[in-house]
Structure 1
Amino acid sequence: MKLKIFIISLFFTTFSYSQITKNNWLVGGSGNFKTTTTKFLSDGTKPYDNRTIFTIAPNVGYFFYDKLSGGISLSYTYDNIFEDYQYFGIGPFVRYYFLNPEKRINLFLQGNYNYYEGGAKTVDGNDTGKFHNNGHGFKAGSAIFLNSSVALELSLDYISNRLNSTLKEKTFMIGAGFQIHLEK
């Protein structure tokens, strides 16, 4: 029992600094639960009500300066608007950490652009066809470093997508994820 307490104490005290300095790598991802509101179409009709969406988004980045990283993010999204509505995304991101690297809890802000491709089937099995769109987003949250390399992240995310010439989506998400900070 004493050995377990010693290891846990060592884990949280000795390694209570983070690797958010120049030339380090950031590898991880997050999962998001979203509630989406869609604007009215140009003809005044609303295509669907609010809905629930689930996203998984892995990413890889590089710290070009202390506390500033940039990289690529991928995403997979499942949406309950139709019976089977799925799309994939890819795009660059930039992330900045506000507090000193020695802090165990740090705050961050991230901006990103995404390009999406996907398709859907309606409840009666009809294929709605393939689509593509693009959007931008922001993420703000806290990184809680469990040791010198691993951080648990909790965030509030905002994404704005233009689906076609008449439909624009604005999404707020609550996210959770892990990031692994690797030294060069």
Structure 2
Amino acid sequence: MQSLKTLFILTLFFYSFSGFSQSGDDTSIPPTTKGNFIVGGSSSFNFSSESLKVKSDNIDDIDLGTNTFFSIAPSTGYFVIDNLAVGAEVAFSTGKFKSDDSDLESKSTSIIASPFVRYYFGKTKIKPFLEGSIGFGSLKAESENVIIGDDIINSTETRRSIFAYGFNGGVAFFLNDFVSVDLGIGYISTSSKDKDDNESNFRNINNTITFNAGFNVFF
């Protein structure tokens, strides 16, 4: 008899606790509510889907080769209205370029700071989103097997200024009210110019399709 009484009390306590928890969930603040913050990071890897061109006022566009890279981009933002966040992202990237017509190879590292706007759709725990950004930064590149006339230069180093803009979209899977895992696809256009070249309008232009995976924390 005592065992049945104990079991009844435990069962009653369990259902009371469950009801309290559900009631708390109903009154919880959705993660994309106005006034919340978003902090996160993402990574992307490009499988030769980038086309690299040289563009100048004096010559036609030239296709040079393909580029693969890895990047990580921590970011922080603030929801100015429900579902709409504005913030800034700092992207650190390393890349490797391979020429289609020669043995030229180059490695690069870059940093770009980009203000962004992101909008989430829907009221469920699976939310599609769209994002746009514009940024400025710098790049350092090291090349090997550069041929100039009849001479072969084993290595060169250049530093360039960067202007970039991009769009991306995807789906955020909310594990709870504080953490989401994001999957998406994006487009980035990057224009870079030699910092020491103050006379010509010679620029490198990269147009990239990226596949992104990352996470965000909301509070």
TM-score, normalized by length of structure 2?
0.70
> Does 1:64 pair with 2:85?
no
Q: Which amino acid is 1:120 matched to?
A: A
Per-residue CA deviation, residues 126-180 of structure 1 (Å, 9 max, x unaligned), is: 2322111101101100000011110000010111112234432211100000000
Correspondence for 1:169 among 200, 206, 209: 206
Query: Paired residues, what number?
Result: 169
Q: CA deviation at 1:40?
A: 5.0
Give, in whole Å, the separation in 2 of the partners of 1:178 and 1:142: 11
Gaps of 5+ in 1: 1-9
2:74 aligned partner, one-letter code: P
Query: Is 1:50–2:49 an aligned residue pair?
Result: no
Please give the per-residue CA displacement for 1:55-93, whole angstroms capped at 9, x wherever unaligned.
100000000000000001001111111443100110100
Q: What residue in structure 1 maps to residue 119 of structure 2?
A: 96
Aligned residue identity for 1:108? F
Shift of 1:48: 2.8
Q: Within 2, Cα distance between the matches of 1:110 and 1:37?
A: 22
Aligned match of 1:73: 89
Q: Which moved more, 1:39-48 or 1:22-31?
A: 39-48
Q: Tell me the distance in 1 between the aligned counterparts of 2:90 and 2:162.
A: 15
Q: Which moved more, 1:157-166 or 1:53-62?
A: 157-166
Of 140, 164, 172, the residue aligned with 2:169 is 140
Which of 129, 137, 144 aligns to 1:116? It is: 137
Q: SS at the partner of 2:144?
A: coil
Compute the RMSD of aligned alpha carbons. 2.3
Q: Which amino acid aligns with 1:73?
A: E
Q: Tell me the equivalent position of 2:51.
A: 37
Q: What letter corresponds to residue 23 of structure 1 in structure 2?
A: G
For structure 2, the 5+ residue unaligned runs are 1-17, 98-104, 146-153, 194-200
The structure, 1 or 2, with the larger RCO (C-alpha pairs under 8 Å, 6+ apart) is 1
Percent identical among aligned pairs is 29
By how many angstroms is 1:46 displaced? 3.4
**Greater percentage in helix:** 2
Say whether the 8 Å CA contact 1:41–1:47 is kept in structure 2. no
**Corresponding residue number in structure 1 for 2:217:** 180
Q: Which has the larger radius of gyration?
A: 2
Question: Which residue of structure 2 lines up, in the alignment, with residue 130 of structure 1?
Answer: 159
